[in-house]
């Protein structure tokens, strides 16, 4: 018998999946000899599939017979219920007639039995039967629909294996399967809400649907990839070089596709989106009652299929630019920017049509491109840099590796800013507090999975900043030149701070800007603790060392040493003011809240641990601000003590001379000669401080000095058993008036800051008669005469030393 030769169909009639299948089975010409074996295997598989189809038909017939039998039983149950209802109606009518005849005793008992026992039991039986009927109808409906899904999935697979493949038929069957899947999901959602006790039925249906989806989704993705390949995706990047990155325009196949190919791609795109929407609904139902947000939000599948091949194509260029990472970032940004418009114009309408709410193709495209870059950085770039740092540490030199690391981080920060502006072009404004969104579009999210790299970056950033600050600290001119307004501030106060404080704040602000670029508050807080706080501590240590040096050389008696300490106080006050402003910013307030969350203390626990929580920081820099305040207070007090000590030395003769309180002052002098040098010393020191010390601390100094001088004069004169004659009282009043004049430039009533000596002078000026009454009147008399700051004993002592002549 002559063999029949079958001609091969035209290549254009073969589907992409058939091409892929044949390429896999016959990679070389030698493998064509196995064609007969392959034909036998395929025929065997076809026979198996036909046998399965026959078995499925038999199973369907058996199920229909079982359903018919079950339906007959349900019909019999309803017939029985109907008979019993008729009997119940007859009994009720019989009871009514018996009651009318006056024979109601036995009838009442029967009625009570019917109403109390039989009727509730009958109602319960009716409800049970109704539930069984609903369950049976729902189960049969779901079984039919799942069978249709399995048939559609099987038909889709068989169609792809046929010689004369029809893309239209395959896509239609896939869309039909998806439509049926959605209807099935609607029923399952309703069952889950209305009949939670039918969990076994839902679980059984879910199991069969999962098996169908396990076939349907990979097949849809395979067809989608084949369509992308036929479109020319990914576009060729071989023409791009480092010198032409900013000039060469990469063609966009999504804009150039036309006709049936475009229609076919859009249908396949829509099918994948519909499948993902179905998957989200299923997960939402299955995770009801749990934290669903993380599990539900997944990257858009269709965008992933666009990004993966172009990412692989880009990495061939990346491998050539390991030493020049700026080209890597430039290429990724160029690709992201060049194709982002097609996401909005072409693909977003299809996503919206598929009812995928909460998804933006623009954002998903950008996020997927950034994710691919972050993955490459984590696998290829950062391990190399970490290795270089380790090698240089062993060699004892780390400058080159540190520079490379900081350069890479600067490129990442710059790239993230450009990407953020690309996202915001769609009208969506992103804030630094939106951790989820920032994570998706930030290349710095690489540190989320590798906190040890973040620690390493913080260490490098800290060392680099301290090295720069060391040069600034060592230049003495930076401690004397005053610079106002170099750092933005809303505080109108002029702290007369030296240039070094603004230099420090500028470097600290640079570290904070790096921190702002990180995608989550936990990373920002960790980075600031490691790189920001130590810089403030180093600055405070530097201030303390300079003050101690000045104190050790001259005990602050020299004007130069005094001004050196004053400049340090001004610098600390300026930094404290800026840190306080920062702590009121929303960025640092958010970090402060996150800091509290990381403590892991619940509200209930905090109620039982009030005492332990009182010492917790309210702001990020509270500890550093507190240390600066302690430093300023301590050295302001030291300046006050030094000046007071010098004033004491200068007026020692004035205090020891007890005779001049028995006579008037020197002729032509408004102040005692022995007090002039002390007042001149005080005036000189205060003039120096007024010029060089900031206003806030200067007020503290002169008030502290006033209080100290008040105690000194009160104890050294009024409490030293000195006899005051009329002339001495006039002399003392004149001396105090001149002393008050020194402080009159900074307050309206300077005598108010010398309460002891002012009250003492009032007593000395009081007439003899009043004083005699005062000894008897005690505290009440003192208050009536404006003596508010002396005790009765002190007043009595002053009065006893007042001498009246004649």
CA 329 to chain centre: 25
pLDDT of res. 486: 52
pLDDT of res. 661: 87
Is residue 494 a contact partner of residue 695, using CB atoms and an 8 Å limit? yes
- Percent of the chain predicted with pLDDT > 90: 42
C-beta atoms surrounding 526 within 10 Å:
19
pLDDT of res. 617: 47
Question: Is 90 exceeded by the pLDDT of residue 254?
Answer: no
CA dihedral of residues 191, 192, 196, 199 (deg, nearest 10):
90
Could you give the CA distance from residue 551 to residue 700 in angstroms, rounded to a whole number?
20
pLDDT of res. 494: 78
Buried b or exposed e, range 315-350, using 16+ CB within 10 angstroms: eebbeebeeebbbbbbbbbbbbeebbebbeebbbeb
Structure tokens at 71: 């339906």
Question: Is 50 exceeded by the pLDDT of residue 752?
Answer: yes
Residue in 480, 655, 669 with CA at minimum distance from that of residue 560: 480
Q: Which residues contact 648 (CB under 8 A, 6 or more apart)?
A: 712
Residue in 741, 725, 584 with CA at minimum distance from that of residue 665: 725
Question: Is 60 exceeded by the pLDDT of residue 434?
Answer: no
Residue in 249, 253, 221 with CA at minimum distance from that of residue 234: 253
Could you give the CA distance from residue 577 to residue 493 in angstroms, rounded to a whole number?
9
Is residue 227 a contact partner of residue 265, using CB atoms and an 8 Å limit? yes
Q: Which residue has the higher pLDDT, 270 or 14?
A: 270
Helix count (H) and strand count (E) of the chain?
Answer: 33, 0
Question: Is 60 exceeded by the pLDDT of residue 244?
Answer: no
pLDDT range class, residue 230, cuts 50, 70, 90: confident
329-356 pLDDT, tens per residue? 999 999 999 889 888 888 999 899 888 8
Q: Quick one: average pLDDT of 228-250?
A: 71
| HSE-CB for 611 with a 13 A CA cutoff | 0
Could you give the CA distance from residue 465 to residue 469 in angstroms, rounded to a whole number?
6
Residue in 537, 540, 512 with CA at minimum distance from that of residue 527: 512
Residue in 754, 775, 779 with CA at minimum distance from that of residue 766: 775
Q: Which residue has the higher pLDDT, 86 or 523?
A: 523
DSSP 443: G
Q: Which residues contact 215 (CB under 8 A, 6 or more apart)?
A: 153, 157
pLDDT range class, residue 436, cuts 50, 70, 90: low
Q: Quick one: average pLDDT of 71-87?
A: 71
Question: Is 60 exceeded by the pLDDT of residue 431?
Answer: no
CATH number of the structural domain 651-800: 1.20.58
Could you give the CA distance from residue 802 to residue 283 in angstroms, rounded to a whole number?
97
As beta bridge partners, residue 482 has 498
- Give the architecture (CATH level 2) of 451-600+618-628: Orthogonal Bundle (1.10)
Question: Is 90 exceeded by the pLDDT of residue 183?
Answer: yes
Is residue 173 a contact partner of residue 265, using CB atoms and an 8 Å limit? no
User: 491 φ, ψ to 5°?
Assistant: -80, 120
Q: Exposure of 152 by Cβ count < 10 A (0-12 exposed, 13-18 middle, 19+ buried)?
A: buried
457-510 pLDDT, tens per residue? 999 999 999 999 999 988 888 898 876 655 556 666 778 899 999 999 999 999
pLDDT range class, residue 607, cuts 50, 70, 90: very low
376-394 pLDDT, tens per residue? 999 999 999 999 888 888 7
Could you give the CA distance from residue 525 to residue 454 in angstroms, rounded to a whole number?
11
Q: Which residue has the higher pLDDT, 38 or 563?
A: 563
pLDDT range class, residue 705, cuts 50, 70, 90: very high
pLDDT of res. 547: 94
Could you give the CA distance from residue 45 to residue 171 in angstroms, rounded to a whole number?
24
Query: pLDDT averaged over the chain?
Result: 83
Q: Quick one: average pLDDT of 619-644?
A: 94
Residue matched to tokens 């490379």: 404
Structure tokens at 97: 């007639």
108-143 pLDDT, tens per residue? 665 565 555 666 776 777 777 888 888 888 999 999
pLDDT of res. 606: 40
**Where are the domains positioned within the chain?**
32-100+107-231, 295-445, 451-600+618-628, 651-800
| Distance (Å) of CA 468 to CA 461, 462, 528 | 11, 10, 18
pLDDT of res. 470: 92
Query: pTM for this one?
Result: 0.76
Rg (CA), the chain: 46
pLDDT range class, residue 591, cuts 50, 70, 90: confident
Residue in 118, 23, 139 with CA at minimum distance from that of residue 70: 139
Q: Quick one: average pLDDT of 712-737?
A: 92
Distance between terminal CA atoms of the chain? 167
Tell which phi-psi region holds residue 485, choosing left (phi > 0), alpha (psi between -120 and 50) or beta: left
Residue in 331, 332, 359, 333 with CA at minimum distance from that of residue 347: 359
Question: Is 90 exceeded by the pLDDT of residue 740?
Answer: yes
Question: Is 90 exceeded by the pLDDT of residue 41?
Answer: no
Q: Quick one: average pLDDT of 546-558?
A: 88
pLDDT of res. 530: 95
Residue in 290, 295, 285 with CA at minimum distance from that of residue 185: 285
pLDDT range class, residue 433, cuts 50, 70, 90: very low
Where is 679: in which H helix or E strand?
A: helix 673-692
Question: Is 50 exceeded by the pLDDT of residue 603?
Answer: no
pLDDT of res. 610: 39
As beta bridge partners, residue 498 has 482
The vertex-417 CA angle with 413 and 419, nearest 5°, equals 115
């Amino acid at each position: 018998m002559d063999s029949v030769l079958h001609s091969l169909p035209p290549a254009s009639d073969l589907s992409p999946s058939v091409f892929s299948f044949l390429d896999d089975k016959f990679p070389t010409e030698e493998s064509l000899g196995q064609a007969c074996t392959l034909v036998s295997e395929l025929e065997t598989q076809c026979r198996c599939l036909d046998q399965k189809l026959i078995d499925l038909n038999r199973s369907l017939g058996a199920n229909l017979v079982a359903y018919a039998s079950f339906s007959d039983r349900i019909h019999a149950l309803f017939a029985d219920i109907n008979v019993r209802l008729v009997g119940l109606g007859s009994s009720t009518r019989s009871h009514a007639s018996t009651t009318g005849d006056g024979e109601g005793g036995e009838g009442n008992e029967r009625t009570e039995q019917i109403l109390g026992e039989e009727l509730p039991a009958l109602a319960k039986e009716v409800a049970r039967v109704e539930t069984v009927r609903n369950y049976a109808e729902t189960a049969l409906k779901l079984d039919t629909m799942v069978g249709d899904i399995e048939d559609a999935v099987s038909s889709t697979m068989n169609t792809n294996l046929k010689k004369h493949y029809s893309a239209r038929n395959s896509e239609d069957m896939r869309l039909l399967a998806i439509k049926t899947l959605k209807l099935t999901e609607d029923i399952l959602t309703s069952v889950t809400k209305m009949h939670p006790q039918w969990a076994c039925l839902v679980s059984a249906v879910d199991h069969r649907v999962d098996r169908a989806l396990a076939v349907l989704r990979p097949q849809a993705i395979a067809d989608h990839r084949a369509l992308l390949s036929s479109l020319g995706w990914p576009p060729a990047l071989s023409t791009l070089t480092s010198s032409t990155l900013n000039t060469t325009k990469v063609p966009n196949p999504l804009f150039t596709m036309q006709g049936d190919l475009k229609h076919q791609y859009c249908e396949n795109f829509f099918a994948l989106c519909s499948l993902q929407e179905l998957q989200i609904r299923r997960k939402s139902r299955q995770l009801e009652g749990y934290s669903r947000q993380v599990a539900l939000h997944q990257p858009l599948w269709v965008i992933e299929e666009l990004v993966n091949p172009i990412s692989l194509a880009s990495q061939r260029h990346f491998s050539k630019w390991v030493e020049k990472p700026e080209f890597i970032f430039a290429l990724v940004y160029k690709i992201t920017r060049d194709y982002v418009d097609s996401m909005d114009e072409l693909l977003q309408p299809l996503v919206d049509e598929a009812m995928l709410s909460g998804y933006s193709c623009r954002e998903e495209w950008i996020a997927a491109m950034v994710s691919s870059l972050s993955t490459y950085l984590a696998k290829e770039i950062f391990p190399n840099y970490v290795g270089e740092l380790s090698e240089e540490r062993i060699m004892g030199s780390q400058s080159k590796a540190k520079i490379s690391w900081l350069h890479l981080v600067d490129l990442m920060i710059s790239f993230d800013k450009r990407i953020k502006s690309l996202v915001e072009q769609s009208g969506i404004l992103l804030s630094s507090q939106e951790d989820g969104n920032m994570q998706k579009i930030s290349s710095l999210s690489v540190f989320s999975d590798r906190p040890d790299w973040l620690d390493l970056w913080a260490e490098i950033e800290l060392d680099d900043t301290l090295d720069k600050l060391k040069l600034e600290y060592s230049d003495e001119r930076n401690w004397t030149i005053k610079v106002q307004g170099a750092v933005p501030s809303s505080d109108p106060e002029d702290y007369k701070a030296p240039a070094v404080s603004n230099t420090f704040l500028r470097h600290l602000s640079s570290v904070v800007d790096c921190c702002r670029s990180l995608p989550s508050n936990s990373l920002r807080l960790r980075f600031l603790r490691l790189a920001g706080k130590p810089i403030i501590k180093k600055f405070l240590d530097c201030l303390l060392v300079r003050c101690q040096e000045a104190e050790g050389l001259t005990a602050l008696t020299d004007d130069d040493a005094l001004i050196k300490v004053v400049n340090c106080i001004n610098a600390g006050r300026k930094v404290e003011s800026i840190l306080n402003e920062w702590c009121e910013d929303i960025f640092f307030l958010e970090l402060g809240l996150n800091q509290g969350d990381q403590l892991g203390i619940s509200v209930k626990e905090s109620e039982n641990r009030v005492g332990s929580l009182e010492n917790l920081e309210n702001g990020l820099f509270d500890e550093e601000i507190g240390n600066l305040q302690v430093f300023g207070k301590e050295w302001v007090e030291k300046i006050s003590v030094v000046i007071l000590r010098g004033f004491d030395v200068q007026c020692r003769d004035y205090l020891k001379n007890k005779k001049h309180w028995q006579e008037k002052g020197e002729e032509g002098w408004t102040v005692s000669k022995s007090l002039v040098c002390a007042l001149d010393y005080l005036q000189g020191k205060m003039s120096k401080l007024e010029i060089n010390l900031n206003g806030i601390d200067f007020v503290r100094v002169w008030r502290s000095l006033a209080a100290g001088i008040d105690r000194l004069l009160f104890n050294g004169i009024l409490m030293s058993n000195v006899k005051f004659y009329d002339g001495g009282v006039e002399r003392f009043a004149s001396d105090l008036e001149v002393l008050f004049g020194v402080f009159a430039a900074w307050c309206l009533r300077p005598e108010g800051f010398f309460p002891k000596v002012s009250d003492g002078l009032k007593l000395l000026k009081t007439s003899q008669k009043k004083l005699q009454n005062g000894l008897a009147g005690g505290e009440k008399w003192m208050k009536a005469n404006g003596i508010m700051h002396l005790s009765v004993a002190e007043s009595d002592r002053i009065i006893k030393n007042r001498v009246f002549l004649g």
